[in-house]
């Protein structure tokens, strides 16, 4: 046997786990969210895999395999405190299109969870401000549900969420529930109004200036996720309010093949989004050395 | 490390011994002109294996990371799916791998076997691979126009990470064992006792050979510093990017590049294979996401990426190994002359131009 390099302490250890091998899952049901976006509820064929997977953190992601088409990374919108595992996927490329074709009972494959995720225990005792645009609510949903489940651990919880039109508001049943819940302040806005819409019209940032809205700045972490344009403007607003760069966190997305820091596609500057991220503070994002 | 002496005519007996042990042995062969390649040694071509010849452009990286490698086979029938991972762990040996390429494989080891996730496919190939390093000593035949291993500190004689190292001392070969498996070969009586005089001769030859390199980039460490600090101006990257033809050739021949893409393809009715294929950051599709958004659309951003990944201190520290081994292949194949030595030179020149002197 020849000399093999080992970074880890256990020089004799031989990898037994195949990091590229996905495990089969069964599609349970599909719900329509907004145009072109559906939620896919699924479970692992193997119950032990399901139990292992359930230890994921909010903000982590998984690799979804549609054999014959390919594999893609998908955020995990459920909170680990919830029973069901599901993905919310927009039909945008060939893999996601194939997933949208699947019928309940049919199988595909998943591996993960991957990435750093949000360390929700780091935010104990703090105010949480969630700012999301469009399908940017998908990765933040996990944190929100988690935080509400552990409501006593956090101070104020606020959600500022905007979409293009009222029809494109994600997770409407959740939004209604959050709007009515006393433990959470949930503000919604749309870019373009429709007749049925009586709420705010304007970009997400316009919500901060609404009468009666008060964004806590001290002892607060802001979670921002949405399209690049929204991200830029919201960051500007938050910094102007007095948020520190280290108290603004976001989750980034990139073209990915492996999810485990090997294929090289998701690198931004010095960081592999798949293993060093996808969650970064704005302070870290600025230091990556490349545009996001 | 232990060293022995081998008679000139006996060097290919190492190939024979490896084959007797059940290894598939790959060695470099020469074609017309500069053309050389690694090929499987058979009874028929064994006599044509060469020790002194230009290093093949197609690097031996493929013996641990094949150009196209099947990861798994998937069978679909009646809604059921069966996934079968496909491994290859045949015993293999490379005879005549150059020091730069030994460093390349070392870099891949650090990358694929390091950190939180270990690559099982890579590991199975790697632990079955025996490396016989040949030291480049012939300035005419071994050392190419673009070789710069002394600047990358990988050669001409590798210091570690081989099993056996063969070096031509003129009248005979010196063989160094770099692993227990390599040292086991010394049980064969053809390996003779070495003396202090042999060690001295080896040192003298290496001292001479180092002076015979045609490409030198003494600015390599400075470039590492400037790339790490991010002080290289955008216009310098734009100048470098404007010369890139986006062919991906530099990555194709690089012994230390690691990136791959994954693709599913139909191989029969209801049967699919998932393969990984070398990928290149020079290609515009490398970062393009479904839906069309491409965060690294500009050519110069992609070129910046290549050199940042290879030279930034952060990555050198991350793998404790640098992703450039000084083999010079990128310089040999690049149509736009932006191989590593040229880029180092362009950065040197740009930095010198930034000295804004005011004559008074």
Please determine, for residue A149, whether its predicted confidence score (pLDDT) is greater than 90.
Answer: yes
- In the block, tokens 């490379």 appear at B94
Return the higher-pLDDT residue of A12 and A28: A28
Given an 8 Å threshold on Cβ–Cβ distance, is A7 in contact with B161?
no
CB A191 within 8 A of CB A163: yes
What whole-number distance in Å separates Cα of residue B18 and Cα of residue B12?
10
Give the pairing of strands A107-114 and B24-30.
Answer: unpaired
Average pLDDT (B23-39) is 94
Given an 8 Å threshold on Cβ–Cβ distance, is B83 in contact with A96?
no
Q: Which residues in chain B have Cβ-Cβ distances shorter than 8 Å to A258?
A: 260, 262
Residue A172 confidence (pLDDT): 92
Residue A9 confidence (pLDDT): 36
**Band (A288; pLDDT cuts 50, 70, 90):** confident
Q: What is the pLDDT of residues A109-125, one digit of tens each?
A: 999 899 999 999 999 99
Residue B260 confidence (pLDDT): 95
Percentage of chain A surpassing pLDDT 70?
95
Query: Residue A142, by phi and psi: left (phi above 0), alpha (psi -120 to 50) or beta?
Result: alpha
What is the chain B residue with the closest CA to A23? B83
Residue A224 confidence (pLDDT): 96
What is the chain A residue with the closest CA to B125? A4
Given an 8 Å threshold on Cβ–Cβ distance, is B121 in contact with A69?
no
DSSP 3-state of A136 = helix
Q: What is the pLDDT of residues B141-180, one digit of tens each?
A: 999 999 999 998 998 999 999 999 999 999 999 999 999 9
Please determine, for residue B97, whether its predicted confidence score (pLDDT) is greater than 90.
Answer: yes
Does the predicted interface ipTM exceed a cut of 0.90? no
Average pLDDT (B251-265) is 95
* A23-114 homologous superfamily: Translation factors (2.40.30.10)
Domain A120-248 part of CATH 3.20.10.10: no
Given an 8 Å threshold on Cβ–Cβ distance, is B296 in contact with A4?
no
Q: Which residues in chain A have Cβ-Cβ distances shorter than 8 Å to B85?
A: 18, 20-21
Given an 8 Å threshold on Cβ–Cβ distance, is B287 in contact with A16?
no
Given an 8 Å threshold on Cβ–Cβ distance, is A257 in contact with B181?
no
Please determine, for residue A237, whether its predicted confidence score (pLDDT) is greater than 60.
Answer: yes
What is the chain B residue with the closest CA to A289? B230
Residue A11 confidence (pLDDT): 37
Residue B5 confidence (pLDDT): 96
- Sign, CA dihedral A62-A66-A71-A72, equals negative
Beta-carbon contacts of A232 under 8 Å, excluding residues fewer than 6 positions away, are none
Given an 8 Å threshold on Cβ–Cβ distance, is A15 in contact with B309?
no
- In the block, tokens 């290609």 appear at B283
Please determine, for residue A51, whether its predicted confidence score (pLDDT) is greater than 60.
Answer: yes
Q: What is the pLDDT of residues B296-339, one digit of tens each?
A: 888 888 888 889 889 988 888 888 889 999 999 999 999 999 99
3-state SS record for A228-284: HHHHHHHHHHHHHHCCCHHHEEEECCCCCCCCCCCCCCCEECCEEHHHHCCEEEHHH
Average pLDDT (A238-243) is 95
Select the residue of B113, B288, B301 nearest A4 (Cβ to Cβ). Answer: B113
The number of angstroms, rounded, from the C-alpha of A233 to the middle of its chain's C-alpha atoms is: 20
Q: How far A45 CA sits from the closest chain B CA (Å)? A: 11
Q: How far B336 CA sits from the closest chain A CA (Å)? A: 24
DSSP 3-state of A145 = helix
Residue A195 confidence (pLDDT): 76
Average pLDDT (A117-136) is 94
Given an 8 Å threshold on Cβ–Cβ distance, is B181 in contact with A2?
yes
* Encoded tokens for A94: 């060939």
Closest CA relative to residue B282, chosen from B219, B324, B319, B240 = B240
**Band (A182; pLDDT cuts 50, 70, 90):** confident
Given an 8 Å threshold on Cβ–Cβ distance, is B120 in contact with A1?
no
Given an 8 Å threshold on Cβ–Cβ distance, is A68 in contact with B288?
no
Q: Spell B257-280 as b/e; 16+ CB within 10 A means b.
A: bbbbbbebeeeeeebbbbbbebbb
Given an 8 Å threshold on Cβ–Cβ distance, is B109 in contact with A275?
no
Omega prior to A278 cis, within 30 of 0: yes
Q: Which residues in chain B have Cβ-Cβ distances shorter than 8 Å to A291?
A: 295
Helix axes B299-311, B220-229, angle to 10 degrees: 120
Lowest mean pLDDT among A143-157, A186-200, B246-260: A186-200
Please determine, for residue A5, whether its predicted confidence score (pLDDT) is greater than 70.
Answer: no
Average pLDDT (B66-76) is 95
**Band (A7; pLDDT cuts 50, 70, 90):** very low
Given an 8 Å threshold on Cβ–Cβ distance, is A267 in contact with B305?
yes
What whole-number distance in Å separates Cα of residue A114 and Cα of residue A260?
7
Average pLDDT (B207-216) is 88
Best probe of the A interface among B290, B320, B321, by most A CBs < 10 A, is B290
Q: Where are the domains of chain A?
A: 23-114, 120-248, 252-292
Residue B295 confidence (pLDDT): 85
Select the residue of B74, B178, B295 nearest A3 (Cβ to Cβ). Answer: B178
Select the residue of B115, B128, B263 nearest A261 (Cβ to Cβ). Answer: B115
Closest CA relative to residue B86, chosen from B103, B99, B69 = B69
Q: Which residues in chain A have Cβ-Cβ distances shorter than 8 Å to B295?
A: 254, 268, 291-292
Given an 8 Å threshold on Cβ–Cβ distance, is A15 in contact with B295?
no
Residue A220 confidence (pLDDT): 95
Residue A8 confidence (pLDDT): 37
What whole-number distance in Å separates Cα of residue A2 and Cα of residue B89?
13
Q: Any CB–CB contact under 8 A between B22 and chain A?
A: no
**Band (A183; pLDDT cuts 50, 70, 90):** confident
Q: Which residues in chain A have Cβ-Cβ distances shorter than 8 Å to B230?
A: 289
């Amino acid at each position: 046997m020849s000399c093999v390099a080992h970074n880890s302490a256990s020089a004799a250890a031989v990898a037994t786990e195949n990091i590229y091998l996905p495990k089969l899952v069964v599609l349970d049901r599909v719900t329509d969210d907004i145009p072109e976006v559906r939620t896919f509820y699924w479970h692992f064929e193997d119950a032990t895999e399901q139990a292992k997977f359930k230890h994921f953190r909010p903000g982590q992601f998984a690799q979804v395999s549609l054999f014959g088409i390919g594999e893609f990374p998908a955020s995990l919108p459920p909170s680990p405190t919830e029973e069901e595992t599901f993905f919310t996927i927009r039909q945008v490329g060939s893999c996601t299109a194939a997933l949208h074709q699947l019928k309940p009972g049919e199988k595909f494959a998943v591996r993960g969870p991957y990435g750093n995720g949000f360390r929700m225990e780091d935010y104990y005792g703090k105010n949480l401000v969630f700012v999301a645009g469009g399908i940017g609510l998908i990765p933040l949903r996990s944190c929100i549900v988690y935080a509400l489940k552990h409501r006593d651990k956090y101070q104020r919880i606020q959600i500022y969420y905007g979409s293009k039109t009222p029809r494109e508001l994600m997770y409407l049943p959740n939004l209604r529930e959050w709007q009515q819940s006393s433990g959470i302040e949930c503000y919604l806005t749309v870019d373009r109004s429709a007749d049925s819409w009586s709420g705010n019209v304007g970009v997400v940032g316009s919500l901060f200036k609404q009468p009666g809205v008060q964004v806590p700045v001290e002892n607060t972490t802001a979670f921002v996720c949405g399209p690049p344009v929204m991200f830029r403007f919201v960051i500007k607003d938050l910094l102007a309010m007095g948020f520190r760069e280290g108290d603004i966190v976001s989750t980034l997305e990139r073209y990915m093949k492996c999810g485990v820091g090997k294929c090289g596609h998701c690198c931004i500057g010095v960081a592999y989004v798949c293993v060093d991220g996808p969650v970064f503070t704005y302070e870290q994002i600025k230091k990556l050395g490349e545009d996001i | 490390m232990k060293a022995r002496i081998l008679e000139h005519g006996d060097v290919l007996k190492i190939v024979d011994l490896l084959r007797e042990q059940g290894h598939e042995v790959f060695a470099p062969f020469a074609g017309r002109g500069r053309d050389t390649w690694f090929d499987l040694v058979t009874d028929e071509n064994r006599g044509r294996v060469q020790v002194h010849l230009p290093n093949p452009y197609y690097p031996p990286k493929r013996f641990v990371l094949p150009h196209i490698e099947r990861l798994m086979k998937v069978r679909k029938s009646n809604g059921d799916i069966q996934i079968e991972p496909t491994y290859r762990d045949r015993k293999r040996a490379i005879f005549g791998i150059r020091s730069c390429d030994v460093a390349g494989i070392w870099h891949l080891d650090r990358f694929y076997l390091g950190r939180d996730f270990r690559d099982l496919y890579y590991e199975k190939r790697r632990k079955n691979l025996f490396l016989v390093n040949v030291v480049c000593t012939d300035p005419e035949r071994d050392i190419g126009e673009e070789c710069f291993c002394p600047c990358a500190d990988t050669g001409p004689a590798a210091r570690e990470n081989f099993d056996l190292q063969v070096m031509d001392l003129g009248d005979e070969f010196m063989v160094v064992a770099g692993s227990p498996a390599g040292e086991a070969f010394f049980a064969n009586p053809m390996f003779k006792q070495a003396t202090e005089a042999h060690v001295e001769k080896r040192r003298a030859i290496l001292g001479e050979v180092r002076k015979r390199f045609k490409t030198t980039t003494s600015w390599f460490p400075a470039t590492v510093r400037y790339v790490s600090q991010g002080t290289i101006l955008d216009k310098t990257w734009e100048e470098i990017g404007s010369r890139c033809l986006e062919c991906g050739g530099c990555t194709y021949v690089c012994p230390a590049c690691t990136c791959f893409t994954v693709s599913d393809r139909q191989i029969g009715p209801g049967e699919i294979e998932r393969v990984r294929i070398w990928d290149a950051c020079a290609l515009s599709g490398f970062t393009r996401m479904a839906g069309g958004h491409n965060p690294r659309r500009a050519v110069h951003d992609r070129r910046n990426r290549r050199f940042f990944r290879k030279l930034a201190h952060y990555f050198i520290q991350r793998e404790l190994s640098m992703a450039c081994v000084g083999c010079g292949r990128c310089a040999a194949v690049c149509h736009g002359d932006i191989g590593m030595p040229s880029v180092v030179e362009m950065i040197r020149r740009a930095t010198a131009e930034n000295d804004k002197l005011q004559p008074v």
